[in-house]
Amino acid sequence: MATGTPEPWTRRHAFVALDDRELAAMLRPLFGDRRVESAEPLTGDFVNTNYRVRLAGLDDAFVLRSYVRDAGACQRERDIIARVRGRVPVAEVLYADTGGEAFGRPYAVMRWIEGVALDQLLARPAEADPVALAACLARTLAAIGSFAFPQIGFFGPNSVSTTSNPASFTTRPASASAPT
């Protein structure tokens, strides 16, 4: 590698292995006693543990995310998703144990979104339409940039409004987010 080039990203926290019994118990508050038909570990996250799960009697797949490093990350992510949902493409959070009361660490259950991850798409440039991809990314970044937060920097406690009424969130017109 060239001098000054960062090493490729690697997993920073141990993957939390969960068997079908543990996954079913974590999903019980949302889905009752449905049996886990399949559970596929998702390897794209470098910190948290994610499983794609299918349950008996349901057509949809779900993601169970166990927050490994930062106990507050589950609440922050849930708040951010609630804030931007409808204007930025994000997974629907169906359930979150933000305090980790039930299993010793916070976790969330989200609806699975079928698609190809950006890193996988970029690895196959012959299959990607660069103009369409750039336009999609630009629209998404403009939508993200249309939200105002109380301060710049990293998200922390009280930096994301937890109001349940998305209409009350402060937003800027998309044109206001572009540098002048």
Q: What's the predicted TM-score (pTM) here?
A: 0.77
Q: What mean pLDDT value characterizes the chain?
A: 81
pLDDT score at 165? 42
What residues contact residue 168 under an 8 Å CB cut-off, 6+ apart? 161
SS3 125: helix
Highest mean pLDDT among 31-35, 68-72, 157-161: 31-35
Q: Would the pLDDT of 153 be above 90? A: no
Tokens of 59: 């057509």
The residues spanned by each domain of the chain are 20-111, 118-177
Q: Can you read off the two tokens belonging to residue 28?
A: 């019980």
What are the pLDDT digits (tens) for 76-135? 999 999 989 999 999 999 999 999 999 999 999 999 999 888 878 888 878 778 888 889
Domain 20-111: CATH architecture, name and number where available:
2-Layer Sandwich (3.30)
